[in-house]
Chains A and B, each alone.
Chain A
């Protein structure tokens, strides 16, 4: 085994150079041509950065569309799911509380109609999206708070609905931050 030691050490040094130094630099170089230059794509309002397109944000005020519950409170310094097992009684209590909170803030909505994604935490705690159904169910609340008519809001939701990839692959979704940025523009 000893005779392999020196070649192993030399080979290791060369491969560190190739795989850990040159390769990431090459990718960083390629990424400079990409949108956001490889630093993450940001969204701005009046020239001020208000967030990252792909990173969900916490919305608790009634005037905004809410995103999903988060195990890290939407602080993207970290990321995590709740990792609660499906039968955990403590977990089911949390879900019950989320249902209650949602009903209090959305008078007129029936419990049966709440999409499960609105009372379950996402995998990353940073999920930027909700489904179209989860947006539509919040329209009534927002229309009341903002004094807008529901039709305008439903149109906005429809405009922000991104269909499946290439029209046929995967789910439809809505980016909550982008939706709320446009929502703020309606009142101006």
Chain B
């Protein structure tokens, strides 16, 4: 096997080896058991005391959501105002301007909702102050918000019948102090020692070997790049994101970054199993998600490594798909990253997705359309939970029994919520794309034909899935794109959080029915395949026509 394929496989194995013990650790943190990070507890007590938070007060699901929405509202206003006036604030060595209102609207929402769609370029669109006080800050808290939301799910199924589901602020704060910060310090140090800048010096001007005068953008980037991956945020310090040779200087840092973005989504699945004392269910979910990952990974590898056949018509023998890719990563590591970053909603890129092969583009979009294989920080599991409920319901109908999940009856109210959430994502994506295709200033801006359609479809898929990557050939910094994607991102974040948490809260309150011979087993391979089928069929029904007009049509033209 060649070294590039070995690199990819080793990367995945290391991810798994880290994610498993990390999952155990996360379960302990949320249970409040002894862990190696107990030295953080004085800091936590200080934070809770000063903020006036009573940690003993447990919340029901509605109170959880109220607290979540309230603090998110505070952040949104704070971020919007900061971006509007950044030009006149300190820590701006490159003298970058303030944002226009529509761009500030888009950017503040984008980072608030863990999407990190960027309609600006980091080098010129932000100051060091906003990179840190707005972007880095939101990357921490938006990731912790997702984890705090999924912790409600943990609590709902750990006990028999309960309304008390822990305290939002405790879950949230501990996610930062016990999980994100310690890991970020490790990853940031690794990056800094391998060439990523971390100092506050501004742009440097140099004369090159050949005698040209050029500038080099820098800044305190390493810390932000660590949280952008560990928090599955994805928004880069530099415009080219993790393709930039300072943001991702070597094959080693590339492994660190792609591992960092996958470990927490994976660990949360194991943590779920450990927390509710049903390890087998955790493994079963992990198995289905890995199958889903491979469903997109394998075609991507074939498509990317097959190269661009148009090059052959130009007379080249080497048709490697190197457009938009970096030599130090090569094609396989770029293909691996493309799939991981889209299924787990990071949206950072180490190659330009717009220039990837048509079928790879289709896989990237499907990754975001399903949006639950490992999935984003916390929200991946919440999305998966929706499909799980639907699978339970359909299985129940098939065997003619009242559907039950973990000892609770799944009834009409929960099913209505689940169905609405499952349809909401396609609704946002397809309606958005349809409007853009019709609106003359938005559509087919720079690239013609089916590829132009793919760019618009990708943009809304990425916005609604809170992914944040883009087919960047789309000229997207204008009022149309800033406003519409801003609204889609906002809806695509909070509705799919509230829905599953509501279902979990409602189920937790119900009478617990002990397992019997007739109970549907949800931790078996059969039920796993059932869930997988539900996810894939729903995605195919909703998105296949749109994909046909975009990447699939382009594939047949090459």
Q: Which residue numbers of A lie inside 8 Å of B, CB to CB?
A: 1, 4-12, 14-16, 18-21, 23-24, 26-28, 30-32, 34-42, 45, 49-61, 64, 68, 74-88, 91-92, 95-96, 99, 111-117, 119-131, 164-165, 167-173, 177, 180-181, 184
Closest CB of chain B to A62's CB: distance in Å? 11
Which residues on A sit within 8 Å (CB–CB) of B199? 28, 31-32, 37-39
Considering residues B239, B254, B325, B357, which has the most beta carbons from chain A within 10 angstroms of its beta carbon? Answer: B325
Name the contact of B209 in the complex, choosing from A64, A80, A126 (C-beta under 8 A): A64
| Proximity string of chain B (284-313) to chain A, C-beta cutoff 8 Å, 1 when within and 0 when not | 000000000000000000000001101100
Q: Which residue numbers of B lie inside 8 Å of A, CB to CB?
A: 3-4, 6-7, 10, 47, 50-53, 66-67, 69-71, 73-75, 78, 121, 123-124, 132-133, 136-137, 140-141, 169, 173, 176, 181, 184-185, 188-189, 192-193, 195, 197-201, 203-204, 206-210, 212, 214-218, 220, 222-224, 226-227, 238-240, 243-246, 249-252, 254-255, 307-308, 310-311, 314-330, 333, 349-352, 354-358, 447-451, 454, 471-473, 554, 557-558
Contacts A31-B192, A127-B245 hold; do A180 and B451 have CB atoms under 8 A apart?
no
Known: A23-B185, A115-B320. 4 other contacts (CB 8 A): A40-B195, A58-B214, A83-B355, A123-B243
Closest CB of chain A to B317's CB: distance in Å? 4
Closest CB of chain B to A61's CB: distance in Å? 6
CA distance A54 to B191 in the complex (A): 13
Contacts A11-B71, A92-B310, A95-B311 hold; do A20 and B473 have CB atoms under 8 A apart?
no
Which residues on B sit within 8 Å (CB–CB) of A167? 3
Which residues on A sit within 8 Å (CB–CB) of B218? 39-40
Is there contact, CB below 8 Å, between A123 and B326? Answer: yes
Q: Closest residue to B177 on the A side, CB-wise?
A: A18
Q: Can you list 30 A-B pairs, Cβ within 8 angstroms, ordered by A?
A: A11-B47, A14-B47, A15-B176, A21-B132, A27-B223, A39-B201, A40-B246, A55-B216, A61-B210, A74-B208, A75-B214, A77-B124, A77-B203, A78-B217, A81-B351, A81-B355, A83-B472, A86-B356, A88-B448, A99-B314, A112-B316, A116-B320, A127-B326, A165-B251, A169-B3, A170-B4, A170-B330, A172-B3, A181-B209, A184-B209
Is there contact, CB below 8 Å, between A24 and B132? Answer: yes
Is there contact, CB below 8 Å, between B245 and A56? Answer: yes
Closest CB of chain A to B43's CB: distance in Å? 8
Is there contact, CB below 8 Å, between B251 and A79? Answer: no
Contacts A59-B210, A127-B327 hold; do A87 and B558 have CB atoms under 8 A apart?
yes
Is there contact, CB below 8 Å, between A52 and B216? Answer: yes
Closest CB of chain B to A40's CB: distance in Å? 5
Is there contact, CB below 8 Å, between A9 and B74? Answer: yes
Top 7 A-B pairs, shortest CB-CB distance: A123-B243, A31-B198, A81-B352, A83-B473, A38-B198, A85-B451, A170-B251
CA distance A74 to B212 in the complex (A): 10
Which residues on A sit within 8 Å (CB–CB) of B244? 79, 124, 126
Closest CB of chain B to A143's CB: distance in Å? 19
Which residues on B sit within 8 Å (CB–CB) of A15? 47, 137, 140-141, 176
Is there contact, CB below 8 Å, between A76 and B209? Answer: no
Is there contact, CB below 8 Å, between A123 and B350? Answer: yes
Closest CB of chain A to B554's CB: distance in Å? 5
Which residues on B sit within 8 Å (CB–CB) of A129? 326-328
Name the contact of A24 in the complex, choosing from B78, B223, B319 (C-beta under 8 A): B223
A-B CB pair tally, cutoff 8 Å: 368
Is there contact, CB below 8 Å, between B245 and A7? Answer: no
Which residues on B sit within 8 Å (CB–CB) of A113? 317
Is there contact, CB below 8 Å, between A54 and B53? Answer: no
Is there contact, CB below 8 Å, between A4 and B52? Answer: no
CA distance A113 to B318 in the complex (A): 7
Name the contact of A52 in the complex, choosing from B176, B184, B206 (C-beta under 8 A): B206
Closest CB of chain A to B210's CB: distance in Å? 6
Is there contact, CB below 8 Å, between B315 and A112? Answer: yes
CA distance A173 to B330 in the complex (A): 10
Name the contact of A4 in the complex, choosing from B67, B75, B193, B328 (C-beta under 8 A): B67
Is there contact, CB below 8 Å, between B121 and A80? Answer: yes
Is there contact, CB below 8 Å, between B324 and A82? Answer: yes
Name the contact of B222 in the complex, choosing from A38, A76, A84, A85 (C-beta under 8 A): A38
Closest CB of chain A to B107's CB: distance in Å? 16
CA distance A5 to B307 in the complex (A): 54
Name the contact of B220 in the complex, choosing from A8, A24, A85 (C-beta under 8 A): A24
Which residues on A sit within 8 Å (CB–CB) of B357? 86
Contacts A86-B310, A122-B327 hold; do A27 and B173 have CB atoms under 8 A apart?
no
Which residues on B sit within 8 Å (CB–CB) of A82? 323-324, 352, 355
Is there contact, CB below 8 Å, between A116 and B318? Answer: yes
Contacts A15-B140, A39-B199 hold; do A86 and B210 have CB atoms under 8 A apart?
no
CA distance A171 to B305 in the complex (A): 14
Which residues on B sit within 8 Å (CB–CB) of A31? 189, 192-193, 197-199, 222
Is there contact, CB below 8 Å, between A54 and B192? Answer: no
CA distance A173 to B224 in the complex (A): 28
Name the contact of A39 in the complex, choosing from B197, B310, B451 (C-beta under 8 A): B197
Closest CB of chain A to B33's CB: distance in Å? 24
Which residues on B sit within 8 Å (CB–CB) of A16? 133, 137
Is there contact, CB below 8 Å, between A27 and B206? Answer: no
Which residues on A sit within 8 Å (CB–CB) of B207? 50
CA distance A104 to B325 in the complex (A): 25
Is there contact, CB below 8 Å, between B352 and A55? Answer: no
CA distance A164 to B332 in the complex (A): 13
Name the contact of A7 in the complex, choosing from B51, B214, B223 (C-beta under 8 A): B51
Contacts A7-B52, A50-B207, A87-B557 hold; do A126 and B188 have CB atoms under 8 A apart?
no
Closest CB of chain A to B106's CB: distance in Å? 19
Which residues on A sit within 8 Å (CB–CB) of B212? 57-58, 74
